[in-house]
Amino acid sequence: MESLVKTAFPFIVYSIGILLAFQGVLMIVAYTVLAERKVLGWIQGRIGPNRVGPWGVLQPFADLLKFIFKEDLVPDKSTKFVYFLAPLVALTCALLPIVVYPFGPSITTINWREILPFGLGEGITELPMTIARIDVGVLFVLGITSVGVYGIALAGWSSNSKYSLMGGLRSSAQMISYELAMGASVIGVVMLAGTLDLNGIIFAQIHSPFRWFIIPQFIGFFVFLISAFAETNRVPFDLPEAETELVAGFHTEYSALKFALFFMAEYVNMFTVSVMATVLFLGGWYVPGLGQVLEPGSIPYALVSHIAFIGKICAFLFFYIWVRGTLPRFRFDQLMNFGWKFLLPLAIANVIITIVLVYFLNS
- Total count of residues recorded for the chain: 363
82 is an interface residue for other proteins by CB under 8 A: yes
Our CB check for other proteins shows the closer of 280 and 317 to be 280
For the CB of residue 200, give the shortest distance to other proteins in the complex, in Å: 10
d(CA 103, CA 227): 24
For the CB of residue 273, give the shortest distance to other proteins in the complex, in Å: 15
Our CB check for other proteins shows the closer of 103 and 157 to be 157
182-211: contacts with other proteins (CB under 8 A): 195-196
d(CA 217, CA 301): 27
The one segment of 154-162, 229-237, 255-263, 301-309 that binds other proteins by CB under 8 A: 154-162
The one segment of 11-19, 49-57, 133-141, 274-282 that binds other proteins by CB under 8 A: 133-141
Helices 344-362 and 162-193: crossing angle in degrees, nearest 10, is: 10
Site string for other proteins, 249-278 (x = CB under 8 A): ------------------------------
Task: Please give the single-letter amino acid code of residue 25.
Answer: V
Site string for other proteins, 12-41 (x = CB under 8 A): ------------------------------
The one segment of 2-10, 57-65, 140-148, 327-335 that binds other proteins by CB under 8 A: 140-148
Nearest-10 Cα torsion for 233, 239, 243, 245? -170
Cα 319–chain centre separation? 14
Size of the site for other proteins (CB under 8 A): 28
Task: Please give the single-letter amino acid code of residue 344.
Answer: L
Angle ∠(166,155,61) on CA atoms, nearest 5: 115
The one segment of 129-137, 234-242, 309-317, 318-326 that binds other proteins by CB under 8 A: 129-137
Give yes or no for a contact between 306 and 286, defined as CB atoms under 8 angstroms apart. Answer: no
99 is an interface residue for other proteins by CB under 8 A: no
What lies within 8 Å, CB to CB, of 250 at 6+ separation is 152, 153, 155, 156, 159, 164, 167, 168, 171, 240, 241, 262
